[in-house]
């Protein structure tokens, strides 16, 4: 349950602070919402061939924040209207929650924005999940793309560790892999959300990234001026049948233009992703339902003249200064609710071998599979208790980890597995 506040207490605090500085801000008539989603797991992990230790296998027990969050948002009519609908100004500040030894990071480190909305849709800028993953993830991932069972184990990535969290821009000369993944939350993001148009919805986004123009020295020793930019978008459709069944269809794309070139000091780079997804949910009656979902993805990396070897990015990378790599991945999932609070959920993913023209020592055995299974019970008040298991089976030259959080430091050919006991509740 979300707690609605009149906003006077927060506004009064802002006004008092501003008055000290001789300014007038805040609006005592605006409505505020304080919300929280708590999602925690006690994990038992096993990572074979853990590259950070001398023994071949690392076992651990961990308490994980699976996207647990607290947020504040407000909305206020501007006094203007369009198409018979008020134009509003909106604000949201959301952050991860960490208990114990975890680092919480800066405020507003999750989906946070300032925006204008109305009959035309919504235009926002801030720090937000990009359309490529967010528009589809919640419709195909049984556990909301929020823990070690996530489809991000094999999708939107060619390695363990190239998932991008808050911020998510490249670092000049950093030779890091994190910014090159496709499952992003991006800062300095401008985004447009369309209204619902007869079941259709589309989004478009681009980064303004604070880096601006950057000059790097490429593999030939020449100076190259780069303007890294992220461009993403997608379209979805939700429909229902007379029987009460429902379905979802969607496609998204992502372009990272000169993005990796900043990290690896390349003359040029262009990485692209494309996804198609859908689900179908059948209602059995009495609260019982079955949802089946599927998604296919193709990602491509094209780098030229990199001063830093591509070996840092690719599990079978060579000392080459160029990279031409393509990979397909597909997923199927199912969620069955019994209608009495109990449910079962499962996912199967398969990442094909690389199709690599340049920069790889081999394409053989770069494929992997992953599956997850879970059973849960949701109380009448909405608290969910769950028992989950995930496994990643890497072939000899693959290096993928489990979901959101790898079980350890993954070496080529190393398999991972995690058991988890979870509790989830929205406030």
Distance CA 39, CA 147 (A): 9
Whole-number pLDDT of residue 262: 87
- Residue 229 · residue 209 · CB < 8 Å: yes
- Residue 278 · residue 249 · CB < 8 Å: yes
**Taking 70 as the threshold, does the pLDDT of residue 294 lie above it?**
yes
CA nearest to 60, candidates 43, 82, 83: 43
**Of residues 24 and 376, more confidently modeled:** 376
Whole-number pLDDT of residue 2: 45
Torsions phi, psi of 37, nearest 5?
Answer: -125, 115
| Fold (CATH) for 44-63+121-426 | Porin (2.40.160)
**Of residues 181 and 167, more confidently modeled:** 181
Query: What is the b/e burial string over 351-360, where b = at least 16 CB atoms within 10 angstroms of the residue's CB?
Result: bbbbebeebb
**Taking 90 as the threshold, does the pLDDT of residue 319 lie above it?**
no
The ranges assigned to domains in the chain are 44-63+121-426
Instruction: Give the end-to-end CA distance of the chain in Å, rounded to a whole number.
Output: 4
Distance CA 181, CA 162 (A): 5
Which residues, at least 6 apart from 67, have a Cβ–Cβ distance to it below 8 Å? 37, 39, 96, 110, 144, 146, 147, 404
Residue with tokens 């890091």: 176
Mean pLDDT of 261-286: 95
Whole-number pLDDT of residue 145: 87
* Tens-place pLDDT, residues 187-211: 889 999 999 999 999 999 998 866 5
150-164, 169-183, 339-353: lowest mean pLDDT where? 169-183
CA angle 75, 81, 83 (to 5 degrees): 120
pLDDT band, very low/low/confident/very high, at 50 (cuts 50, 70, 90): low
Mean pLDDT of 28-46: 88
Whole-number pLDDT of residue 161: 60
**Taking 70 as the threshold, does the pLDDT of residue 284 lie above it?**
yes
- Residue 44 · residue 38 · CB < 8 Å: no
Question: Distances from the Cα of 225 to the Cαs of 61, 207, 216, 320, 420, in angstroms?
Answer: 46, 18, 7, 21, 47
11-15, 67-71, 273-277, 380-384: lowest mean pLDDT where? 11-15
Mean pLDDT of 396-424: 87
**Taking 60 as the threshold, does the pLDDT of residue 174 lie above it?**
no
Distance CA 269, CA 46 (A): 36
Residue 350, token pair as written in the block: 């398969």
Sign of CA dihedral 81, 116, 254, 95: negative
pTM for the full predicted model: 0.89
Whole-number pLDDT of residue 181: 85
**DSSP result, 360-400:** BS--TT--EEEEEEEEEEE-TTS-EEEEEEEEEEE-TT---
């Amino acid at each position: 349950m979300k707690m609605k506040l009149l906003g006077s207490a927060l506004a009064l605090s802002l006004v008092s602070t501003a008055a000290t500085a001789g300014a007038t801000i805040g609006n005592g008539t605006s409505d505020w919402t304080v919300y929280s989603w708590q999602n925690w797991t006690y994990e038992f992990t096993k990572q074979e061939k853990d590259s950070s230790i001398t023994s071949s296998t690392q076992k651990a027990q961990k308490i994980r924040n699976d996207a647990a969050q607290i947020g504040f948002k407000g909305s206020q009519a501007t006094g203007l209207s369009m198409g018979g609908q008020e134009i509003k100004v909106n604000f949201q500040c959301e952050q991860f929650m960490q208990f114990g030894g975890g680092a919480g990071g800066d405020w507003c480190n999750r989906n946070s924005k300032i925006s204008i909305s109305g009959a035309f849709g919504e235009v926002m800028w801030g720090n937000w999940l990009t359309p490529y993953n967010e528009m589809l993830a919640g419709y195909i991932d049984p556990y909301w793309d929020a823990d070690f069972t996530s489809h991000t184990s094999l999708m939107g990535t060619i390695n363990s560790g190239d998932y991008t969290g808050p911020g998510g821009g490249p670092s000049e000369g950093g030779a890091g892999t994190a910014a090159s993944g496709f499952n992003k939350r991006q800062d300095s993001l401008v985004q447009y959300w369309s209204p619902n148009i007869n079941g259709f919805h589309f989004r478009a986004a681009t980064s303004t990234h604070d880096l601006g123009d950057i000059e790097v020295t490429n593999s030939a020793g020449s100076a190259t001026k780069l303007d890294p930019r992220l461009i993403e978008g997608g379209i979805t459709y939700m429909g229902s049948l007379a029987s009460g069944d429902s379905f979802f269809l969607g496609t998204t794309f992502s372009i990272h233009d000169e993005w990796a070139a900043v990290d690896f000091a390349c003359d040029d780079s262009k990485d692209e992703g494309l996804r198609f997804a859908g689900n179908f949910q059948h209602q059995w009656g009495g609260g019982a339902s079955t949802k089946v979902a599927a998604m296919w993805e193709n990602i491509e990396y094209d780098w030229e003249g990199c001063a830093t070897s591509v070996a840092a990015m690719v599990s079978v990378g060579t000392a080459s200064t160029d990279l031409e790599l393509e990979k397909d991945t597909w997923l199927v999932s199912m969620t069955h609710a019994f209608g009495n609070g109990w449910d079962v959920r499962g996912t199967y993913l398969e990442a094909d071998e690389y199709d690599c023209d340049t920069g790889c020592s081999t394409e053989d055995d770069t494929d992997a599979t992953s599956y997850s299974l879970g059973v849960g019970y949701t109380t009448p008040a909405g608290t969910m208790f769950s028992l989950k298991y995930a496994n990643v089976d890497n072939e000899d030259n693959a290096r993928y980890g489990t979901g959101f959080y790898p079980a350890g430091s993954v070496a080529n050919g190393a398999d991972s597995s995690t058991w988890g006991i979870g509790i989830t509740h929205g406030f």
